[in-house]
Amino acid sequence: RLLRAFSNITLTIIEARGQRFGYVPPLNPLQQEIMSLLGLPSDIYSNLVDNSS
């Protein structure tokens, strides 16, 4: 059940004119609460964009 809460996460990467752009939608409140309860920093998710380039 825990993983199911994150099943809708997407990472979109677009490459245009030699540059790569990434986007992840914001976490919903349940996902944010799970991350907090697990002691994970909130930016671990948003950093997926930086690490995908």
List pLDDT tens digits, range 10-39: 889 899 999 888 899 999 999 999 999 999
pTM of the model: 0.73
CA distance 33 to 50: 23
More confident call, 11 vs 48: 11
Q: Is the pLDDT of residue 3 over 70?
A: yes
Cα radius of gyration rounded to whole Å, the chain: 13
Which residues lie below 8 Å from residue 26, measured CB to CB, with a gap of 6+? none
Where are the chain's structural domains? 3-52
Q: Would you state the pLDDT for residue 36?
A: 95
